[in-house]
């Protein structure tokens, strides 16, 4: 009997954490769709991974566009009959600005990607996910979203002020909680990749992308008895 492959899609995956997540999942023998808004870069990333023997295909997907997301769903539906794992990795960071100087327009830019984009993609792919026997959704969050850690002067999150980014990830955490309660047949969790060195932080992070992807991979591969509606880093649960 032919083994049924797990099918996954990772957004924002032409580089950094997203690309590493695709590489790791494909390395498990999964069929993985590498989704990115830049057709040229995304296509090159998928081709490079495919040349390594991975079953990876590129899908153009801009999380801020209803039309782009709908086209991506159509493209994936023409290739597979279901989606087992959705990793909402696409995200942007904001300018280094004091909360007192941040206005609503600056905040809206990040929310369009980090919050609205995640809901747009998840909602659009739900029909394909519902066809899976073990549907899983991973939202890539941040420990900066933790109210408990932000309130603790002993934690590094306390000293990092980022009204737009931190609040967008806190909103995403509540979205995870809401989805998990509304979709009990799913496993829906938030992953904190730590502080990997990526383009978003100008490669100033203290972790490698491989280390950052650990929590994402763990939640993407969670077993049927595993958690849902939680917030996890590589070392375990993170307080809300």
Looking only at the bridges linking them, the beta strands covering 236-237 and 231-233 are antiparallel
Contact 60, 71 (CB under 8 A): yes
Rounded to the nearest angstrom, the gap between the alpha carbon of residue 90 and the centroid of all alpha carbons in its chain is 6
Active-site residue identified among 165, 179, 186, 232: 165
Q: Which residues of 37-67 are buried (b: 16+ CB within 10 A; e: fewer)?
A: beeeebbebbeebeeeebebbbbebbbeeee
Specify whether 179 is catalytic: no
Let me know how long the chain is. 240
Residues 6+ apart with CB under 8 A from 86: 8, 9, 121, 122, 125, 129, 136, 137, 138
Other Cβ atoms within 10 Å of 81 Cβ, number: 9
Nearest to 167 by CA among 128, 124, 109: 109
Residues with a catalytic annotation lie at 165
């Amino acid at each position: 009997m032919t083994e049924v492959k797990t099918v996954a899609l990772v957004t924002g995956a032409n580089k950094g954490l997203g690309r590493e997540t695709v590489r790791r999942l494909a390395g498990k023998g999964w069929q993985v769709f590498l989704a990115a808004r830049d057709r040229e870069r995304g296509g090159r990333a998928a081709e490079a991974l495919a040349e390594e023997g991975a079953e990876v295909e590129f899908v153009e997907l801009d999380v801020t566009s209803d039309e782009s997301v709908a086209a991506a769903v159509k493209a994936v539906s023409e290739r597979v009959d279901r989606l087992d794992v959705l990793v909402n990795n696409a995200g942007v960071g904001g300018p280094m600005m004091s909360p007192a100087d941040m206005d609503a327009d600056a905040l809206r830019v990040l929310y369009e990607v980090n919050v609205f984009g995640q809901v747009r993609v998840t909602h659009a792919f739900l029909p394909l996910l519902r066809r899976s026997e073990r549907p899983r959704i991973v939202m890539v969050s941040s420990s900066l979203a933790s109210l408990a850690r932000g309130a603790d002067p002993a934690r590094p999150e306390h000293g990092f002020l980022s009204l737009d980014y931190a609040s967008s990830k806190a909103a995403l955490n509540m979205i995870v909680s809401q989805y998990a309660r509304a979709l009990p047949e799913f496993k829906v969790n938030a992953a904190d990749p730590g502080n990997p060195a990526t383009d978003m932080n100008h490669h100033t992070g203290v972790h490698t992308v491989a280390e950052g992807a650990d929590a994402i991979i763990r939640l993407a591969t969670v077993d049927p008895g595993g958690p849902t509606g939680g917030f996890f880093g590589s070392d375990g649960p993170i307080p809300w």
